[in-house]
Structure 1
């Protein structure tokens, strides 16, 4: 496995495990996530909770597979990440195209509605996961230096953490609305 694959693994491990923690880590978080799926009209009402549970379970499985140091689980995790992220991008694009306003519950709490940036984010992450899977499937590029592999994985994990708070970071650079005072 080459350094690119280690970096992608770190990034996606962080993204998926933070997503799971955001949807399950506090009281009411899972219900809020499940409720956010209803307006997307992807599944019938009674199945929404089961789909929400399956989504969280799939995200946890992908995060765990990417964290394990085995080539087979890495490849499975990268392929799972590619599929999940592509589905997320398509569902969000469909929602945006219909004009549906839904808060992003991708990583837990957010006041930002789902939009084109979410489609782009998930599409880019799906592409990274797909390229990572191709690199892993192509075979080893030589024995990596374990220390350097750890550094690259950690750098990827930091980048993944930043991806999960990108909305907040972008919000820091938006113009401030003038306050109206009398």
Structure 2
């Protein structure tokens, strides 16, 4: 039974990070991410671009490991990266910086405690799933594929929810 949740998590976090990395690879997404690093206080355009590339590479690594490597390692990487991102949001909000969320590509809204709670909650879920022992009855290949696909659908639903929420919430001026 627990293995089913791990498979859902595999698909969910793979989709979440694939969309996040893909959105930032577009020219506008990369520019928005670099601008977010500038608003965060990171000095120098070269350092901001380098940091953006590192973040994109880290986000692209998570789905690759989740889908082609050990699931527990992929989920651990997801938890670690989400914790780092939550830390960035915490620092940004505590300093009162107007950093735009470039979470899934283009920046639409200012980072807020909502982003902190989202990232911290997702990091907790990923960590719990990473530490979940395999169940006594392993899933067959069809079960793995089906549950991973359902997880992907859930991950895409979260991204779409974020996009709709960002579009409906008025920007702070």
TM-score tier after normalising by the smaller chain length: 0.7 to 0.9
- TM-score (ref. length: structure 2): 0.87
Asked if 1 retains the 8 angstrom alpha-carbon contact of 2:14 and 2:67, the reply is yes
Gaps of 5+ in 2: none
Q: How far did 1:85 drift?
A: 0.1
Q: How far did 1:174 drift?
A: 6.6
Q: Deviations over 1:21-44 (max 9, x none)?
A: 1000x3332132122112113x44
User: Larger Cα Rg: Structure 1 or Structure 2?
Assistant: 1
What residue number does 1:178 align with?
none
What residue number does 1:156 align with?
151
What residue number does 1:19 align with?
20
Q: Deviations over 1:124-164 (max 9, x none)?
A: 110111011101xx334322133233222111111111211
Asked if 2 retains the 8 angstrom alpha-carbon contact of 1:2 and 1:140, the reply is yes
Asked if 2 retains the 8 angstrom alpha-carbon contact of 1:101 and 1:114, the reply is yes
Gaps of 5+ in 1: 176-182
1:49 matched to 2:49? The reply is: yes
CA shift in 2, pair 1:168/1:19, >3 Å: closer
What residue number does 2:59 align with?
59
Which range moves more in the overlay, 112-121 or 145-154? 145-154
Q: How far did 1:3 drift?
A: 0.5
Q: Deviations over 1:81-133 (max 9, x none)?
A: 11100010111011112211121111011321111111111111101110111
- TM-score (ref. length: structure 1): 0.83
Distance 2:27 2:43 in 1: 25
The two structures, once aligned, show a CA RMSD in angstroms of: 2.1
